Chain A
Amino acid sequence: MLDAAIIGAVFASVVAAATTLLLASLGELVAERAGTLNLGVEGMMIVGAAVGYATAYSSGSLLLGTLAAVLAGTALSLVFAGLSVWLATNQVASGLATTILGLGIAGLIGSSFVGTRLDAAPALDLPVLTDLPIIGRAVFGQDAFVYASLLLLAAVTYGLARTRAGLVLRAVGESHSAAHALGHPVRRIRTLAVMFGGACAGLAGAHLSLAYTPFWASDMTAGRGWIALALVVFSAWRPLWLLAGAYLFGAVSILQLHVQGFGLGIPSQFLSSLPYLATIIALVAISALKRGQGAPASLGVPFVPDR
């Protein structure tokens, strides 16, 4: 009954579900490594989803839609950066405010697109590789977002570990006072990191509304932005662990759908709450094991020069 085609399809859907999380959490990881805890991811993601969908639907171009989504996510991240980096407000409150605002803006933009549908971003077939059994479709028959997420992962991993910019960014996250004393522009670096996070969240939103579920529904992010935040903790702020975490959570959310399909008599609501319960369990497990190791030392602490 479970033939290769079905297993391949399940794998492919896991990859698709994981890609949204991977994109959003990569951006958040960079922001957090620079010392800013951005709780606005959910808002930036849904604004990306709404603006991306609206632009793609109106222009007929998925590429334009994606670009617009990235810009929208970045624009909203500037609101967060303005508050938390430049005015040195409480990062938790600023992030929440950004999310509430983002949910509202997305709802306004999306309201005229309720009930419409788009053609999803096409799978990019790679010759031969796509036809490999089981893993062919899952690994090589994906849309451009999947490849983009993996390229971004490689870039972030390399950039943080091996470049001078990555070193400076990590220094700012570990000790903003020391970085400041060395002459690094702490606030400018944090702003750029937050903007990168916003762009990634916007891209994650575009993946959601242009590829994963190619229609608009209000609140379609359904807490994925928050799960992305939890994944950063889960990864202990290391990009490669993020990959494992995102795919694990992709698997949980897909598994939950398939179990519902089998009709085991488990109420669907219990299965739907699984990703959220899994997030809690993962957070507890990681903090029980690691006790917060890996967190940038200045994370969440506002920086005011000479205060």
Chain B
Amino acid sequence: MPLKLERQENVSTLRLAAAPLVALLVTLVVGAVMFVLLGHDPIRAFTIYFIEPLGDPWTLQELVVKACPLLLIGIGLAFCYRANRWNIGAEGQYVAGALLGSWLALATHGTEAGPWVLPAMLVLGAIGGALWGLIPAFLRVRFGSSEILTSLMLVYVAQYGLDYLVRGPWRDPAGFNFPQSVTFDDVALMPLLFEEGRLHGGIIVALVAVAAATFVLGRTLVGFSIELGGSAPRAAAFAGFDERRVTYGVFAVSGALAGIAGIIEVAGPIGQMQPTISPGYGFTAIIAAMLGRLHPVGILVASLVLALTYIGGEAAQISMRMPFDVTRVFQGTLLIAILAADVLVRYRIRRVEGTSHA
């Protein structure tokens, strides 16, 4: 087919900023078609899915709570993706962080441990996630193995590890044989920000991460070397930046943030260890990172949008008996739309007459 992509010079900032909005719009149109195909009135479905959750203080809090892990993981992924390192195993790093952090919560359970427990859990969560993330980094640096596949395989390994612990050694003996740990002690739980509601201290951690990442990525030499290593590896090598150190660095940061997200989720909204501790946050965060243009503030906005697809999905599941997979379709479509919109903003598609080959 005689089609040609032509690079647009001087693309305005306005056009670039429009891409995520266009992507969102396209996703909504696809969503409407999907609702009709599923036999639902699209207007009613949209209201339940996207509008009603926004009009209720309780679900608004829930929105922020759900955005928190996406934001933390997404920021970490931005470090990797800017360096052109494809960490797609954040879900496993999330679980690994949750495991190491929970270990402390369970080890100190029922003791008179002081308020140091929770901060120590967060640190352990970061270490657990970072160590899990450093495995694919090491395999890539040392052996040249694809970090895409190794980081992803480690997701399954981490999940089986979690499953083993909550069904075996960590199972609550007084839990009526349910595969879950004891409920964490108060000193091992994220404090709530308000008496009434679900907003917890993890949101503060996530906002600090936004500020810190914005600074590091935008204003420091470290951020510059990550960016340059990703976009022009040879130039980076000439400039004396060590590619291996960047690889270790971005995977450690990415894993640590995913691990912190994991332990915050377990010590916050969940409050104990159980076989499933994530509705796919590690994968959805990939979309958050892309939709947010690999910029921490953009990822903040994108996380809220994506959190809405979780909340709306739950609402549609309850009130319309719609399968939860609607959420995945929305998320996948959104990622496809943002990728396409990015190209269409920067390039113009031209028909080429004549003999030119496609």
Contacts and interface: CB of A to CB of B under 8 A. Distances in A.
Given A87-B343, A103-B325, A104-B326, 5 more contacts: A89-B340, A273-B160, A276-B154, A279-B149, A283-B149
Nearest to B158: A273
A284 B143 contact: yes
Nearest to B342: A89
A135 interface: no
Interface in A72-127: 79, 82-83, 86-90, 92-94, 96-108, 111
Interface of A: 39, 43, 79, 82-83, 86-90, 92-94, 96-108, 111, 180, 183-188, 218, 222-223, 226, 229-230, 233, 267, 269-270, 272-273, 276-277, 279-280, 283-284, 287-288, 291-292, 304-307
A93 B160 CA distance: 26
Contacts of B93: none
A184 B38 CA distance: 43
Contacts of A267: 164, 168
A188 B138 CA distance: 38
A277 B156 CA distance: 9
A284 B160 contact: no
A55 to B, nearest CB: 16
Contact of B327 (A104, A186, A280, A292): A104
- Interface-central residue, A82, A99, A106, A280, by most chain B CB under 10 Å: A280
Interface stretch (B2-10, B200-208, B242-250): B2-10
A99 B286 CA distance: 12
B339 interface: yes
A277 to B, nearest CB: 6
Contacts of B343: 87-89
Given A90-B339, A269-B160, A39 B148 contact: yes
B358 interface: yes
B145 A188 contact: no
A230 B164 contact: no
B323 A111 contact: yes
A230 B332 contact: no
Given A39-B148, A88-B343, A97 B328 contact: no
Contacts of B327: 104
A18 B7 CA distance: 45
B339 A83 contact: yes
B329 interface: yes
A188 B358 contact: yes
B246 to A, nearest CB: 18
Given A283-B150, A307-B7, A105 B143 contact: no
A188 B286 CA distance: 29
B323 A101 contact: no
A108 B156 contact: no
Contact of A97 (B1, B332, B357): B332
Interface in B309-358: 323-333, 335-336, 339-340, 342-344, 356-358
B21 interface: no
